[in-house]
Structure 1
Amino acid sequence: MQDMDTTSGLPIVLLTDPIDADALVPLEGVASIVQLGDPGWEDIVPAVRRATIVVVRRQIPAEALADAQHLRALIRNGVGLDFIPVDAACGMGVAVVNTPGANARAVAEAVMGMILAGARRLSVKDRRIREGQWAELREAAFGEQEIRGKTLGLVGFGAIAREVARIAHFGFDMSVIAASRSGKDGLPHVELAALPTVLSLADILVLACPLTDETRGMIGPHELAQMKVGAGIVNIARGAVIDEIALAAALSSGHLSFASLDVFCEQPLPADHPFRELDTCVLTPHTAGITAQAMAQMSVMAVEEACRVLNGERPRNLVNRDSWRTIKDRWRILHDCR
């Protein structure tokens, strides 16, 4: 029942997109590695249905799991699970795995850059200088604020948010307050509070939570209205966490001073999106977590988890832990039917 490469006789590890080549070395000789787009592997649905393990960096259609008789695990080369039909995987006994913390430093560094770009109007200055301005920009700079001593609000308190908190507090002398649904303990330099409190106290709000049914649309007109006049917002979570139309309105009215956004409801950002017309928006193409170092670390972790799956071991970063008994039963059946 378990699909094998007809040439090598090995289980198939499908990469939806390239990962770090050096990280793949441990799979040599134990799995046949194919990449979506290779000859015979052009279409994602039949490709997933033939694979033993899929390393995920793009959306997996739910229908791909409908007849995925050989699939053991979907391993997210990253953290967010919105690319994976988790409920369907749980029902089938397919392990869902991710690589938490691997890109936390990369995202945290990007967040601080996005804060500075918004608060100090760096992208606006760059653009205006190229248009011939100079004196006007220098005059406007007298009204800019340092972020030292400001309050950073975090929505979400996972590995990324914790790294942001560390850099913001110890590197920029910011006070940090966080809202977390996970119940994780705080840190000595971070105050935990309910979301309304974080919204009302934050000079800069950073969205760093996963996209779930509970967080979808969590920051809407009511929540934005609770924020301080002149506050800024950074979104490195998912676009759908915030009401984009309401955010554009809050920026246009001057209620918020800036928004630095790495994620959007629709990607790429549509050509007619109102964010494109706002000087107070700093836009990046969902690259906060992408650096050479982060990609290498995520790839290493993903391959380590793939090796555990192939060896019949429980993955260290198993997301659907409540399904472990069902997963083990599926793996046993697949092994027995080889």
Structure 2
Amino acid sequence: MGFTVVTLGSQIADEGVALLREAGATLVATAAYPPKDEMIAMLTRHRPEAVMVRLVKRIDEDVMRASPSLKVIAKHAVGCDDVDTAAARRLGIPVMLATGCNAQSVAEHALAVMLALVKDLSRQDAHMRAGRFDKSLYHGRELRGMTLGLVGLGQIGRGFARMAAAIGMKIVGYDPFAPDSAFEAPVARVRELDTLLETADVVSLHCPLTDATRGLIGRREISLIKRGAYLINTARGEVIDEAALAEALASGAIAGAGIDSFSVEPPPATHPFLRLPNTIVTPHVAGVTDDAKREVSLQTARNVLAVLSGAPPDRRYLAN
């Protein structure tokens, strides 16, 4: 069968492209972060049966209506805060996610950042490059015996928990939406976010961006984090009050932070996280290792093909 797939926000990886072409797809793609009028024009011109979404600011009902043939929207990601899922539901268009495909990569990234922070690697590297071979400047600690507090117990949080437990950390988790099965050993469930913040030596965020989680770690919550603890965010920048966190980092109330996502991306050059010596910052890459890109690309393509085949959407990947 012949069909058209438009990718909004640059094309997916070659493996997914090949899978779609083998099935008879004609593929068209925009550059990253296309303006709304360009997306509407693209869908109006090509009338695709499927849209794959990568790097965009927002897909709303106007964009969806631009193609009367549209049957599925497939996110090349595990989050869908950039797609109006309610509008898609009204239009009868399933929004599919590549759930779980980059979980291992994100969990490993969180582990790497935690190790770098607690072992003081970034500052030691800077000292060496500046010609200071001085062991008295080292302030690394052991992770063994520390408590890791996970906010969000999906596949990423559970994967990170297993890695941290192997080091000898104690694990506590907060997720009011997760089933009890998510809190099997090594994770102990805490019912209140405040309790986790007050007891964890490392707080790591793994929750999706929703109305409930936007601003979840605000100024009050940051004040509850125990002095000398570390915070890691591989979720979404909007989950944190960035100004309040920057103040806590500058004062030393929080020992360090690993930040992979920002409320505005790319962040301005004046963003305090980019200037604080006790932060490790990465450009929202935790889930885009070569391995993860391949798996996400393939699952995105599979989601398109499954829906266009007429099969009911697989609820494991359905966002709406």
Flag whether TM exceeds 0.5 (same fold).
Answer: yes
Match in the other structure for 1:58? 55
Match in the other structure for 2:28? 34
Aligned residues: 307
Percent identity (aligned): 35
Match in the other structure for 2:216? 218
Alpha-carbon shift at residue 113 of structure 1 (Å): 0.7
Structure 1 pair 293–47 and aligned structure 2 pair: CA distance change class (3 A): same
Match in the other structure for 2:144? 148
- What is the distance in 2 between the residues matched to 1:167 and 1:15? 35
RMSD: 1.9
TM, length-normalised to structure 2: 0.91
Match in the other structure for 1:202? 200
* Conserved 8 A contact 1:95-1:318: no
Alpha-carbon shift at residue 25 of structure 1 (Å): 3.0
Bigger radius of gyration among the two = 1
- What is the distance in 2 between the residues matched to 1:275 and 1:292? 26
- Which structure 1 segments of 5+ residues have no match? 1-8, 322-338
Match in the other structure for 1:273? 271
TM, length-normalised to structure 1: 0.86
Alpha-carbon shift at residue 10 of structure 1 (Å): 2.4
- What is the distance in 2 between the residues matched to 1:58 and 1:85? 15
Match in the other structure for 2:125? 126
Partner SS, residue 43 of structure 1:
helix
Match in the other structure for 1:168? 164
Alpha-carbon shift at residue 66 of structure 1 (Å): 3.8
Listed as ranges, the matches of 1:1-338 within 5 Å are 10-16=2-8, 17-27=10-20, 28-37=22-31, 43-49=38-44, 50-59=47-56, 60-62=58-60, 63-135=62-134, 138-141=135-138, 143-170=139-166, 172-185=167-180, 186-193=183-190, 194-316=192-314, 317-321=316-320
Partner SS, residue 223 of structure 1:
helix
Partner SS, residue 152 of structure 1:
strand
- What is the distance in 2 between the residues matched to 1:164 and 1:29? 36
Alpha-carbon shift at residue 144 of structure 1 (Å): 2.4
The one-letter code sitting in structure 2 at the alignment partner of 1:35 is A
* Conserved 8 A contact 2:72-2:308: no
Structure 1 pair 310–195 and aligned structure 2 pair: CA distance change class (3 A): same
Alpha-carbon shift at residue 318 of structure 1 (Å): 4.2
- Which structure 2 segments of 5+ residues have no match? none
* Conserved 8 A contact 2:51-2:72: yes
Alpha-carbon shift at residue 152 of structure 1 (Å): 0.3
Match in the other structure for 1:326? none
Structure 1 pair 102–212 and aligned structure 2 pair: CA distance change class (3 A): same
